[in-house]
Structure 1
């Protein structure tokens, strides 16, 4: 999944949780935590890859061997401070990133590219990029994962807008 789509998916997942748990759109602070947490795997792995430290762009931050302890620690710290909802938001955001990097490989039968899930215990080959999803009937156009990601991105931004743009107030208060 493209890096810009992950924070949107993190928001969508947390917004669904907030609706389920409270019946309301998400509050600003936990929504922001979910959005930021959804970017962490790429914020960790991409600089390591571009600096030549790791062989591919999905290693440490995408590995369950790192993600599970980090999510558990964040949840425990939040809970200890009486901010359970922020721990849940972090867990949802971070987990959504790792989870949404899986389906494209499964759909394309590129199971070997799922090595990032247990890196460094398993090998992670170079990411082969955008995956084909099929042909659009009658048009002869090849649909790719980018098409679906564009729909997810636009739908997520539209929902965020409809929900009152939670988190934007925090940015305005801090930097506005």
Structure 2
């Protein structure tokens, strides 16, 4: 899943869950904590693999349920202790939704063992078939996306690809555009 996919998936889960729980849209601070949580596993593991070559794949320490569960519980406990339970919960939903998203993507790709991505160090994924660097990987991901748009069915592909993001965007607007609304109030003063 791409970074924006993790962000959209996590935002949807958190926003809808928060509305069910509190009958209110999420706050800007909670959205920022959530977004950080949705990106954290890749911000840790991809550089360790692609940049520093410490792991054979970009799924290791931060993607591991053996790390994510204790870290999440610790953040929740710290949030409760500091009277910031909402921020702790938002971070945990973001972090854990990242792992769920990676498992779901592996299932959709019909991988034999979709849970392997989150079982480090019990399971270590085999190395990539070739040397991977951060820039190579970024260019490959972007190139693959743009190549998919150069086919005859590009409008259909683009529509299918963008439809879920449009729905998340609408949910964000219904929520009052958290973060952007607060920035606007800070700048404009209203």
TM-score by length of 2: 0.74
- 2:18 maps to 18
> Aligned partners of 1:5, 1:26: CA distance in 2, in Å?
19
- 1:78 maps to 79
Query: How far 1:169 sits from its partner (Å)?
Result: 4.3
Structure 2: give runs of 5+ residues left out of the alignment: 130-140, 142-152
User: Is 1:33 aligned to residue 33 of structure 2?
Assistant: yes
User: Is 1:112 aligned to residue 113 of structure 2?
Assistant: yes
Change (3 A) 1:169 1:127: farther
CA contact (8 A) 2:45 2:59 kept: yes
Radius of gyration: which is bigger? 2
Structure 1: give runs of 5+ residues left out of the alignment: 130-140
> Aligned partners of 2:116, 2:31: CA distance in 1, in Å?
30
- Looking at secondary structure, tell me which structure has more helix per residue: 2
- 1:50 maps to 50
Secondary structure (helix, strand or coil) at the match of 2:55 reads coil
Alignment RMSD:
3.0
The total of aligned residue pairs comes to: 164
Query: How far 1:72 sits from its partner (Å)?
Result: 0.9
TM-score by length of 1: 0.79
CA contact (8 A) 1:115 1:125 kept: no
- Looking at secondary structure, tell me which structure has more strand per residue: 1
